Amino acid sequence: MKIPVSCVGLTVLLAAIFSDFDMAAENRDFGGFSRYARANKEIPIKKKGEKRVVFLGNSITDQWLKYSPEFFADNNYINRGISGQTSYQFLLRFREDVINLNPDLVVINVGTNDCAENTCAFNADITIGNLVSMVELAKANKIKVVLTSVLPAAGFRWNKNITDAPERIELLNRRIKSYAKENRIPYVDYYSSMVSGSERALNPEFTNDGVHPLKAGYTVMESLINPVIKRYLK
């Protein structure tokens, strides 16, 4: 049967569209698996008696290594923060960036970008559900967990449509703290030591953008988290 020229043209057009779609799909990495793929392969087998700790988080964790590399090097801590990520993405990469590294403990800091709606509309139930799933995965693999508060922020410069950031953050912190208490999981409250003023902002002494800590802010966080880790790993 002879195919009309118009049909041939349509076929070629559709083929091009779907080809571009397939290429785009191949190039997408929503979970961020590629970020640490090589580094994960280069991590040596854990030695007898070695205690290994992974910090899982977003840009607040990611930039920690830049401001305080000695904190990670001196304590044998592994940084697995990825800027911009939400709890949805943490959960996707939890096996590759946590479980497969065979840590004794994981420190999870989640919530800032969920509140900022980086991937979808804010839903505290789903955020907490994602966190609970990560905890359950850790426990199933005999990995201890330390949960931490969301850091304070009066707003998010990249999404100014969010006008209730402090309320969202406080809601998540209440729920994370409650879940930790109910399940006997250590909870580290960064928030109370870093919040400032009636706007419930990140103390300006610790930041230059209202969301991400500077060296002084990380120093405060280290003073809070490190004793908990050391005590929990004994």
pLDDT in tens, 139-192: 999 999 999 999 999 999 999 999 999 999 999 999 999 999 999 999 999 999
The pLDDT score that the predictor gives to residue 9 is 54
pTM: 0.88
Give the helix/strand (H/E) hosting 127. helix 124-140
CA–CA dist 172, 141 (Å, integer): 26
63-79 tens-digit pLDDT: 999 999 999 999 999 99
Residue 141, Cβ neighbours under 10 Å: how many?
15
Give me the pLDDT at residue 187, please. Answer: 98
Residues 6+ apart with CB under 8 A from 134: 56, 87, 90, 91, 94, 98, 108, 145
Residues 218, 71: contact at Cβ < 8 Å?
yes
Q: Can you give the pLDDT at residue 95?
A: 98
Residue 215 has pLDDT above 60, yes or no: yes
- Tell me the C-alpha distance between 73 and 77, whole Å: 7
Strands 195-196 and 201-202: antiparallel
Give the pLDDT of residue 205.
97
* CA atoms of 76 and 51, how far apart (whole Å): 8
